[in-house]
Structure 1
Amino acid sequence: MRQQAIGNLIGATGGAAFVLVNAGAPLSDTLTTVARVLGIALLAAVLAITFRQREKPATAPGGFTKGYWFVVLAEVVALFGGFQVLRALEAPPQANVAWVAVVVGLHFVAFVLVWRTWTIAIPGVILAVLGGIGLAMAWTTAVAWVPIVSGVLSGLALLLCSLVFSLLA
């Protein structure tokens, strides 16, 4: 399977998880169901497109290089270190999903340098921005909406980017 196809599948799976885990109150039951169904439908579309494409050799540089593992290690350290900082600042629990979106977004941006392909920066920037908005919201009366902004919207962004990149492959 091509490297880009693997990336699209990982992005779509992560996006679906973001949506399924974070869809809920304060959304109505109807909107929660719509978000979850949309997440599953987009994941199914990426899976269908990916597995219907003919096998092609990997064309993009990348893979599990030292640079890849460095980015993954930095991501893990940033995630867990950030959770500790948020706890020390007595941030509400909703801030955690915002922090995850920021870190996952930044790790995509870092992969631009590792894999020398700019397209991965698109979902990365979107997630980092949505995560940053969620972090700002965490200290306001809109805190209940953080999982929607930083979780559901981030997940849908990942799913849509994975779908578009699958179609363009």
Structure 2
Amino acid sequence: MTGLLVGAVFGAVFVVVNAQSPLNTVTANLLRVVACLAAASVVAMWIMTARKERSVAGGPLFGRGYLIVVAAEVILLFGGIRVLAAWERPEQTNVAWVAFVVGVHFIALAPIWKDWRITVPGVVLTLLGAAGLVLASTAAVAWVPLISGVLSGVVLLTGSLTFGWRAVARPAKVA
């Protein structure tokens, strides 16, 4: 559940930061509110699951392999953004790069966590990031935050809500 909590928070951040023009103000604000409510729902599920199982420790999910993937992710995120700036790419390219790297990080974590279900959001985020990187070189650059940011956030929130609900609905582990 802790991984879902992180996914939901980052999903909400993707939506809140990137819901902007060319969307109208009402739509952007509605997306922000829904994203925050979805993240709050995952927080509530996290609390319920923690109480039910009496443990919120990450355990083997956050071991050495995880730390290596996250370290590589941080280097790629910040290094890539610096390279994009040096190449004088439009600012919107940054969100596409972030979505791409976050997607790849899910794919890399699947064999480490032995949970192939996370490749689904990983592949979708990678594709949304790649689409944004392509769009950033066109006249449609204004749509990159929606495609690579808002849609990536929706994917993270949907996945977190789905898997969170399944965790809450399953019986408690017997010690």
Q: TM-score, normalised by structure 2?
A: 0.88
Match of 1:28 in 2: 24
**Which position in structure 2 is the counterpart of 1:132?**
130
Q: Could you report, residue by residue, the CA deviation over 1:83-118 in whole angstroms, capped at 9, with x for unpaired residues?
A: 232223321010000000000110011001211111
More displaced stretch, 106-115 vs 80-89: 80-89
Alignment of 1:20-169 (within 5 A): 20-53=16-49, 54-55=52-53, 62-169=60-167
State the Cα distance separating 1:42 from its structure 2 match: 0.8
Q: CA RMSD in A?
A: 1.7
Residue-by-residue CA offset, 1:105-139 (whole Å, 9 max, x unaligned): 10011001211111221211111111111100001
- Percent identical pairs in the alignment equals 49
Tell me the SS of whatever aligns to 2:13.
Answer: helix
- 2:170 matched to which residue of 1? none
Counterpart code for 1:162: S
- Name the CA distance, whole Å, in 2 between partners of 1:93 and 1:44: 30
CA gap of 1:120–1:153, structure 2 versus 1, over 3 A, is: same
1:63 Cα offset (Å)? 2.5
Deviation, 1:64, is 2.5
2:15 aligned with 1:19, yes or no?
Answer: yes
Q: Summarize deviations over 1:37-69 as a string: whole Å, max 9, x none.
A: 1101111221222222311668x9733221111
Indicate conservation of the 8 Å contact 1:19/1:36, yes or no: yes
SS at match of 1:63: helix
User: Relative to structure 2, which stretch is displaced further, 65-74 or 84-93?
Assistant: 84-93
Contact 1:61 1:115 in 2 (8 A): no
Taking the aligned partners of 2:60 and 2:107, their CA distance within structure 1 comes to 14
TM-score, with length taken from structure 1: 0.91
Q: Give 5+ residue unaligned stretches, structure 1.
A: none
Separation in 2, partners of 1:67, 1:46: 25
